[in-house]
Each structure stands twice: as C-alpha cells, then as structure tokens.
Amino acid sequence: MKISIHNTALAMALWGGGIATTAAATSLTLEQSLANLNTEKAANYIGHADVQVRDESEFLRMRVYLQKHYHGVVARHHFELEPGQFVDCVDELSQPGAQRHQITRKNWVTAPSSLPKDYEPVDEASVRDKHGRDPGIFLLSSELPNVERDAEGLKKSCASGTIPKLRLTLKQMTAFKTLEHFRHKIGQPGKQALPTVYASPAISANDHEYAHAYDWVTNWGAESYLNVWKSYTEKAKEFSLSQIWVTDGGQETVEAGWQVYRNRHVFNPKYPYFFIYSTQDGYNQTGCYDLECNDFIQTNSSVVIGGRWTNLSVVGGAQYSTKILIQKDGTTGHWWIAVDGVYAGYYPRSLYDTNGIKNQADKVDFGAEIVNSTPHSRHTKTDMGSGYKPFSGFGYAAYQRNIRYVNTSNQYATPSLTEARDDSGCYDIDTGYANNWKTYFYFGGEGYNVSICP
C-alpha cells in the first residue's frame, strides 16, 4: 500500500511509529494531529501487533475520548522525547484539569502553603544509594544553553507558563480492549462484575498481588524513597510497581510511584515509568493515570509525569532511588505530589468526599503490586521489584527507605507499619529500622516457582 508523506506523518504522530513507513516525516504539532484525528480508521489499527482494541465501536469510543480530552488545550511547543513519543508544552491554564476545575490566573498556585516540618532530616551522605533528579523525569530549563534537542532540532524543554504533557495517542489506547481497560488501574471498570460484552479475558481485582506495609493513622500525606528497578513482566497486560498510597481505606486514594507496564508504555515498554493515580470510588468508574483525564492539575514546567526513569538499579551494583511525597495542604487544601523535592501539581480537594479524603486520610500504605494473569494455568513469572526476595538484602532486593507520614500538624512522623503479603512463597516483605534509613523494608520475588509459587 502506498502511503503519502502527509499520511506517514499522521501515522507517526497518532500511531506512534507502529506502522511501517517509507520515508522520514516531520513531526506534527498537537493542532495538526487533532485536525487529522477524524481520518483515523479502526482498520489502520486492528490486526497490527500489540493492538488489542476489541472492535470498531470501541475504537471509535477511544477516538471520541481523545477529541474531548484535548478540547480547548493549547500547545505552545512540542518535541520528540524519545522515538515515537511526543511531549506538548501546554499552556498551563488550558490543560484538561485546569479547564475542569475552572483554574484561572487568580486562583493559580504552584505549591502547598507550607512544607511539612522536619525534625529529623534524612542524612543523604549515609544512605548508600544514588538519588536525585533523573533526566528522564526532569526537563532542563529552556533558557539553558545545553538543552538537548530532538532529531528536528526542537528543544526538549517547556517554557515557564506551560507544562509538559505526554501526547496521548491511539497507539497507547488501542493496546487495551476497551476504553475502561485503558483508564482504570484494576484493568477493567473497577471491582464490579463486567457486563457480558466486556467479559473474559479481562484482568480482575483478584489478579492483583501485593507485598506492602501500612499504618492506620490520621494523616496529611506520606513520603518514601523508592528504589528503582527495571522489573521483568511476563505478559504485556501484567505490571509491576512500587508506590505509596494515602487512602480512606480504599474508596478514595492518591497514589504515586514507578511502574513497568508494557501495555501502557508502548514506546519503551520494558522500563519503569513515573506514574500518579487517584480514584474516588474504589477503582470503579473514576480514576486514571497521570494526565490522561481531567483530575490532576500540573503546576511545574519541568516534571514529565509519565516519564521514563533512566537511572536504574543493577543487581550487585549501583542502586538508585527517588523520593516521592504526597502531601495534603491542611484541612482545606489540595493533595499535592512532589518527586525528588519538586512539587509537580495537585489533585483538587473538591474531587473527594468528607467521608473519604477531602479533609484528611485515614491510612498510609507503602509497597509493591503486580498483576498475575495466570498464564498457562500457573502463576506468572513477573518480578516484583528486582525479582529477589527480601532476605537477599542491599544490591539485590528492592526496597523503600526513610518511610514517613505527615501528621495533621503538618509534621513528619514515623509510622508503625504492619506487613502484609498475599503469598510469601511468591512475593514477600521484611520491614526494619536503621539509623541511616530510619523505617524501611525490602520486598520482592520472582513469581512462579514450581515448589513455593506454583
């Protein structure tokens, strides 16, 4: 089939490089991509490798979702972050979350009103791992002379007054069977039974396995340093993550961490990515990752939410960690997320209920989660963390360290963690305390083992 240069460019921008092309093409701006979105047909996707969208009607739902998602969004600049993946530097007040929550220059804020009070600072010199702002997550200022440029010479940076938004594409969405599979963390529309039309082989809540540690305590947030790994996942629809949660017990959550999820991260699928997530009804009809719906308001021009970690831990070698903070700005403020000391933005307080986390949360949780799709009628071989069990220790097992929560006096406090795991033969967790790491735990496992994780 002959493909015109115009259609080649469209395929690269909206498909993301999945369709073979005969010539290099100029990357499209967001405006150009959206103008051509109506020409995209299900037949161009269904049947291609890695495309799972169920049928044409579901494809059309995804296309409409994209059109609505970008309604009113203004991009001032764009660039190719890595092959096939584009970033749009979006006018901060035109981003979907700002439009939904009617954010104007008068009520625009860039950080909480105050930082948590810290009476026991982390001794960074004694923690043994490398940590700091990963270049895959943080963009350099456009004013600096050494800003990297993409293949077309476009600066990989967003100016003040804009926020970097990874361009959402049909290639990413059609890696899932339905729009609900794409949006929801459980892998289907929440924990409720699916209608017959959405039946098997959907991933269900029962396919998720955890090794984590929690504390039921009234709080305004949580913080941890997360050891970052390139976890192996056996199936593209399975994921492996390390994260922190604040929650009322499960119905309303704010979550952040790193995740390897090949179906979601189609451009470099085997790597860990920074993610945020929130649900307001127990993963049922609400919730989405990153900036893929209009829940979150990003306020920082350098943080790439959904970006790929490039500094990765090595078995028996260098270890890398990243600090993530989820913080409520007092009783009447929003839920902020900071990564390595930079506030990326917030989930507005108005999203939540007074019986949930509108004013405060009731539980902090730290740990890991995988999806087990039971391939070949056995447990998955998907790694949790590094794939090593907790007893393997530093340099082998994954960990979280310097684990704290923020109390309702806006002070850091030490949690009293309770360990939990679904099956210690598959994945386990071991908490501890040390002078340099304070409260910490190791976690992980390799999944399938004929004798202890069949």
How do residues 111-146 score in pLDDT, each as one tens digit? 999 999 997 777 777 899 999 999 999 999 988 888
104 vs 284: which has the higher pLDDT = 104
- The pLDDT score that the predictor gives to residue 184 is 86
H or E segment to which residue 32 belongs = helix 30-35
H or E segment to which residue 275 belongs = strand 273-279
Q: What is the mean pLDDT of residues 151-179?
A: 96
- The pLDDT score that the predictor gives to residue 196 is 30
Residue 153 has pLDDT above 60, yes or no: yes
Q: What is the mean pLDDT of residues 236-253?
A: 96
Residues whose CB falls within 8 Å of the CB of residue 191, separated by 6 or more in sequence, listed in order: 204, 205, 282, 283, 284
Residue 9 has pLDDT above 70, yes or no: no
Q: What is the mean pLDDT of residues 225-233?
A: 98
Q: What is the mean pLDDT of residues 12-21?
A: 39
User: Is 431 within the bounds of a domain?
Assistant: yes
Residue 5 has pLDDT above 50, yes or no: no
Note the pLDDT tens digit of each residue in 256-311: 999 999 999 999 999 999 999 999 999 988 999 999 999 999 999 999 999 999 99
Q: What percent of the chain has pLDDT over 90?
A: 83
- The pLDDT score that the predictor gives to residue 275 is 98
Model confidence at 250, pLDDT cuts 50, 70, 90, reads confident
User: Is 220 within the bounds of a domain?
Assistant: yes
The amino acid sitting at 435 is N
d(CA 438, CA 76): 44
Q: Cβ of 28: how many Cβ atoms within 10 Å?
A: 20
What residues does 77 pair with on adjacent strands?
Answer: 89
User: Is 242 within the bounds of a domain?
Assistant: yes
- The pLDDT score that the predictor gives to residue 25 is 52
- The pLDDT score that the predictor gives to residue 198 is 28
Residue 252 has pLDDT above 70, yes or no: yes
User: Is 345 within the bounds of a domain?
Assistant: yes
Model confidence at 188, pLDDT cuts 50, 70, 90, reads low
- The pLDDT score that the predictor gives to residue 12 is 42
Q: What is the mean pLDDT of residues 237-259?
A: 96
- The pLDDT score that the predictor gives to residue 26 is 75
Q: Coil, strand or helix: which one is 334? A: coil
Residues whose CB falls within 8 Å of the CB of residue 450, separated by 6 or more in sequence, listed in order: none
Query: Could you tell me the CA-to-CA distances from 76 to 29, 70, 92, 160, 200 in Å, in that order?
Result: 9, 14, 10, 11, 43
User: Is 429 within the bounds of a domain?
Assistant: yes
User: Is 151 within the bounds of a domain?
Assistant: yes
Range of the domain at 171: 124-191+207-444
Q: What percent of the chain has pLDDT over 70?
A: 90
| Region for residue 421 given its phi and psi (left: phi exceeds 0; alpha: psi -120 to 50; beta: otherwise) | beta
Cα torsion 286, 289, 291, 296: sign: positive
Q: Coil, strand or helix: which one is 36? A: coil
Note the pLDDT tens digit of each residue in 335-384: 999 999 999 999 999 999 999 999 999 999 999 999 999 999 999 999 99
Average pLDDT, the chain: 90
What residues does 240 pair with on adjacent strands?
Answer: 260, 370
Q: What is the mean pLDDT of residues 417-434?
A: 98
Q: What is the mean pLDDT of residues 89-112?
A: 98
Residue 397 has pLDDT above 50, yes or no: yes
Q: What is the mean pLDDT of residues 241-257?
A: 96
With CA atoms as reference, report the closest residue to 368 among 234, 237, 435, 272.
272
72 vs 26: which has the higher pLDDT = 72
Q: What is the mean pLDDT of residues 173-199?
A: 65
- The pLDDT score that the predictor gives to residue 199 is 30
User: Is 58 within the bounds of a domain?
Assistant: no
d(CA 40, CA 65): 14
d(CA 424, CA 408): 34
H-helix segments, 109-241: 170-173, 179-183
Query: Could you tell me the CA-to-CA distances from 83 to 13, 152, 267, 303 in Å, in that order?
Result: 11, 12, 7, 19
Are residues 175 and 50 in contact, defined by beta-carbon separation less than 8 angstroms?
yes
Place of tokens 């976690």: 443
What the block records as the tokens of 376 is 């070949």
pTM of structure: 0.92
Are residues 364 and 214 in contact, defined by beta-carbon separation less than 8 angstroms?
yes
- What total of structural domains would you count in the chain? 1
Q: What is the mean pLDDT of residues 404-418?
A: 98
- The pLDDT score that the predictor gives to residue 142 is 86
Note the pLDDT tens digit of each residue in 325-343: 999 999 999 999 999 999 9
User: Is 309 within the bounds of a domain?
Assistant: yes
